[in-house]
Amino acid sequence: MKIRKMAWRNLWRRKRRTYITALSIGFGVLLSVTFIGMADDSYTKMIDTSAVMGLGHVTVEPGGYNETPSLDKSLSDAAGMREAILKMEDVNDALIRIMGQAMIASANKSIGGAFMAIDPDRETGDLNLFIRSIVEGELFSGTAGQGVVIGSRVAKKLNLSIGKKLVYTTTDVKGEIVSEIARVTGVFETGVSEVDGSMILLPIDRVRAVLSYKPEEASLISVVIKDQRRSGRMREKIRSRIDNPDIEVLSWRETQADLASIITLDKAGNRVILILIGLLIAAGILNTLLMSVMERTREFGIMMALGMSPSTLFMLVIMESIWFAVLGLVLGTIITVPWYAFMYHHGIDFTGMIGSDYSASGVIIDPVMKIRLFRESALWILTGLFTLTVLSGIYPAWRAGRVPPVESLKEI
Amino acid sequence: MTNQAIVRLEDASKYYRQGKMDIRAVDGLSLEIHKGDFTALCGPSGSGKTTVLNLIGGLDFPTGGRVYLEGQDIGLLSRSRISAIRRDRIGFVFQAYNLIPVMTAYENAAFVLSLQGVSDRECRDRVMAILTEVGLEGLEHRRPDEMSGGQQQRVAIARAIVTQPAIVLADEPTANVDSANADSLLRLMERLNNESGITFLFSTHDQRVMDRAHRIIKLHDGKMESDEVFS
């Protein structure tokens, strides 16, 4: 009889124990999928949300802009670079923007804020959170290039509403103070109070004129890609395509360092939890296999008396642990799939607990916890649990291979 | 019986330490077992019968002296080499049958052949022939818990002889079966000895075994008390 067949039958000597052990592995699959899937989903949402708040997954900008953003630093041929980037695979869009600080004033009050100048013909709500979050009015409509869309808290602070005028003051490319009037065409509300209380959107052509920028000039190109996990690779591809030492190409990890730190910290915490889950599962499997080996000491003695080598006996027990792993992963998949389907489509809504405008590092966090597992994470879970289960079998297998036949044959 | 010695013990001893006392299970025993022998080791409990079988089978090692199997000093062999010798050259029949419970009669009988890496086809031919020979035709799919003690012991005999070993070591093979089955098993082993020339060495208290043995070695306190050969 082949070792794998014998190992499979050995598994069913004590059905209940086998099912309980396999279920513990299955439960490990469920927990791992939940933790890692929640992390995959929430990190992706945070990164994608952050990307559509201005800087994209990858940002092309003048050298030194990331450390000290300033309007006197600009890309002279932003349109040409955009065209080159758009031809690259996996790029969703490349958006030319001018971003800077400004004083925003209404008739009787002023506040410090920031502006993002966009091309209204090219930008839509899909890749621009502010446009997506317009709750009143619309984007720069019927204002001959002098429209402005303001955050809801800016509107409140400056007592502005649709149709009213504001003045924004900033410095131009030469460092001179410049001002311009704009009429409010829309109000957005992202849910992030610091953003809603300071940000305004302006049409890029008008801002270029105000800042004395040339027609193709801009602060940065915000590149939004199809899969945030490829942002590092995309940064390198764009870097080699542009090949200009005066231009920096940065991924969201560099432009959104706070967010990157939060994610890294959260991942480390998750890893600790997963290690603990793994250790608990491993202890259960080790216990089952060890008990199963101890119960069969006499039988192992007989097998060795009949000529089975210690290494074959070792392999027999390892094979049993492999079957445990296979069974556990199959059971795990069976119990996890419905849970995953529910969590993927519906999730658990924590709005009642944390509110709908919960944010971290200026990025909105979805209060509905969902699961989305990347293929590599699923593979990691399956490989990790399989390896853990098989490793748990090593000590019992070693014990089995060390059984002295003459002693074990005396056992009743 | 031929003159070729399959087993040779030279002044073999086996001492165990039990508390502060040395137990002399085998004490300076010298003997030879020849090809085709049908020999019984007998003696009271504690006389060293099973220990002698264990020493010959490489399941245990002598404290003193030498044990040779087909000319090889068992005490000088590695664990893996001894495993290979047990697999290829020795058949074991135990008092408590010791079949593997998750295997059928066929699979138990084929167990050692599968360790030897014999092809499935050859294995099937040989195992079915042996099962027929030991009277278990039609029962090959039964598991041990679906067979009587006598049938289980027949499977154990089939397992022991299917590899055509140099010697079959049978430790009290009739102790756990009723007298009808014991007679039947003994007739079977006697026939295998006569027709196939398989060498048997029994440890036994059973008079029926001694009545059929061609040679009886009596042990007492680990020493040989007598060695009688019957024609």
SS3 of chain B: helix, strand, coil, percent, to 5: 40, 30, 30
Which residues 6+ apart lie within 8 Å of A401 measured at CB? A310, A311, A313, A314, A317
Q: What is the mean pLDDT of the segment spanning B23-35?
A: 90
Q: What is the pLDDT of residue B201?
A: 94
| pLDDT bucket at A412, cuts 50 / 70 / 90 | very low
Distance between first and last Cα of chain A: 25
Read off the pLDDT of residues A3-16 as tens digits, 9 standing for 90 and up.
Answer: 888 899 888 888 89
| Res A49: pLDDT | 87
Number of domains forming the structure of chain B: 1
In this predicted structure, the answer to whether residue B11 has a pLDDT above a threshold of 80 is: yes
In this prediction, residue A302 carries a pLDDT of: 87
Residue A144 has pLDDT above 80, yes or no: no
Please state the rounded mean pLDDT for residues B203-229: 90
Q: Residue A411: pLDDT band by 50, 70, 90 thresholds?
A: low
Contact between B102 and A405 using a beta-carbon 8 Å cutoff: no
State chain A's mean pLDDT as an integer: 89
Which pLDDT value is given to residue A152?
A: 94
Which tens digits make up the pLDDT trace of A284-294?
A: 889 988 998 88
**Reported confidence tier of residue A410, pLDDT bands at 50, 70, 90:** low
State pLDDT tens for residues B78-106. Answer: 888 888 999 999 998 888 888 988 899 99
The pLDDT value given to residue A117: 93
User: What band does A252 get if pLDDT is binned at 50, 70 and 90?
Assistant: very high
Check whether A394 has a pLDDT greater than 70: yes
A382 inside 8 A of chain B by CB: no
Average pLDDT, chain B: 88
Assess A407–B contact: CB distance below 8 Å, yes or no. no
Give the span between the Cα atoms of A55 and A192, in whole angstroms. 16
Give dist(CA B103, CA A116) in Å, integer: 76
The answer to whether residue B176 neighbours chain A at the CB level (below 8 Å) is no
pTM above 0.80, yes or no: no
Answer whether B60 sits within 8 Å of A307, measured CB to CB. no
Give the closest-approach CA distance of B228 to chain A in angstroms: 29
State whether A305 and B92 contact (CB < 8 Å): yes
Least reliable range by pLDDT among A118-132, A212-226, B152-166, B175-189: B175-189
User: Given strand B72-73, what is the order of strands in its sheet?
Assistant: B21-34, B5-18, B64-69, B72-73
User: Could you read off the pLDDT of B120-132 as tens digits, one per residue?
Assistant: 899 999 999 889 8
Residue B2: is its pLDDT beyond 60?
no
Across the interface, of A1, A10, A309, the residue whose CB is closest to B83 is A309
Six token digits for residue A150: 């303001």
Residue B1, pLDDT score: 45
Q: Which of A242, A250, A261 is nearest to A66 (CA)?
A: A250
Q: Does the beta-carbon distance from B86 to A6 stay under 8 Å?
A: no
Q: Is B100's CB within 8 Å of A405's CB?
A: no
CA distance A228 to A226: 7
Beta strands in chain B (DSSP E): 5-18, 21-34, 38-42, 64-69, 72-73, 90-93, 167-171, 200-204, 215-220, 223-229
Who contacts A81 (Cβ-Cβ below 8 Å, separation ≥6)?
A: A60, A75, A94, A221, A242, A247
Q: Do B102 and A10 touch (CB under 8 A)?
A: yes
CB B187 within 8 A of CB B159: no
Provide the strand spans (E) within A65-197.
Answer: 91-105, 110-118, 134-137, 147-151, 165-171, 177-188
Please tell me the distance from the alpha carbon of residue A138 to that of residue A160, in angstroms, as a whole number. Answer: 15
pLDDT at A93: 92
Number of CB atoms found within 10 A of residue A240's CB: 9
Mean pLDDT value across residues A92-109: 92
- ipTM score of complex: 0.85
Q: In whole angstroms, how far apart are CA A341 and each of A298, A338, A345, B99?
A: 47, 5, 6, 48
**Secondary structure letter of residue A349 according to DSSP:** E
Domain that holds residue B15: 5-229
Mean pLDDT, to the nearest integer, of B178-191?
Answer: 82
Q: Are B14 and B60 in contact (CB under 8 A)?
A: yes
Chain A residues inside the 8 Å CB shell of B92:
305-306
CA distance, residue B158 to nearest chain A CA (Å):
13
- Closest Cα in chain B, distance from residue A330 (Å): 24
Distance from CA of B93 to the nearest CA of A (A): 10
The pLDDT of residue B123 = 92
Burial of B2 (0-12, 13-18, 19+ CB in 10 A): exposed
Q: Which residues of B touch A312 (CB under 8 A)?
A: 115
Over residues A342-355, mean pLDDT: 85
Do the beta carbons of residue A297 and residue A408 sit within 8 Å? Answer: yes
**Are A153 and A192 within 8 A, CB to CB?**
no
pLDDT at B182: 81
SS3 A388: helix
User: Chain A contacts of B98, Cβ < 8 Å?
Assistant: 298-299, 302, 409
The CATH number given to whatever domain includes residue B195 is 3.40.50.300
**pLDDT tens-digit profile of B39-83?**
999 998 888 899 999 999 988 889 999 999 988 998 888 888 888
Q: What DSSP string describes A164-199?
A: -EEEEEEE-TTS-EEEEEEEEEEEE--S-HHHHTTE
- Of B86, B102, B114, Cβ closest to residue A305: B86
Higher pLDDT, residue A339 or A365:
A339
